[in-house]
């Protein structure tokens, strides 16, 4: 399965991600202790990449759960005889835009 980043600039193979983590984006100067948004960041062996940014932790957790469900579903379908030998068989998960 592949993930298309929220900014639509990168297509990442989920198999290359070592982890996906939540990153807090805080304000600047006097707002340093205010969390402005939460990003889902993936890390490969080479570099970290921002998958998407959301208004709060609950929304980011919802998106991560959706990614996991889609990935599990794609893995189950790959085991199906019909798709097993199809090299082009792949899923692309598009990171949702923030509403």
Q: Where are the domains of the chain?
A: 2-94
* pLDDT value at residue 24: 93
Compute the distance between CA of residue 35 and CA of residue 42 in angstroms, rounded to an integer. Answer: 20
Phi and psi of 37, rounded to 5°? -165, 170
Q: Over 80: is that where the pLDDT of 83 sits?
A: no
- What dihedral angle (degrees, nearest 10) is formed by the CA atoms of 34, 8, 4, 97? 50
pTM of structure: 0.78
- 45-74 residue pLDDT tens: 778 999 999 999 999 999 999 999 988 877
Tokens 């082009």, located at residue:
88
Tokens 């202790």, located at residue:
33
């Amino acid at each position: 399965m592949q993930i298309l980043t929220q900014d639509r600039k990168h297509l990442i193979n989920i198999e290359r991600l070592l982890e996906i983590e939540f990153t807090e984006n805080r304000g600047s100067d006097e707002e340093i202790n205010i969390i402005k948004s939460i990003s889902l960041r993936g890390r490969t062996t080479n570099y970290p990449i921002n998958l998407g940014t959301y208004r709060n932790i609950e929304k980011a957790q919802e998106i991560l759960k959706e990614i996991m469900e889609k990935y599990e579903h794609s893995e189950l379908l790959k085991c199906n005889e019909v798709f097993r030998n199809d090299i082009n068989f792949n899923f692309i998960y598009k990171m949702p835009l923030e509403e």
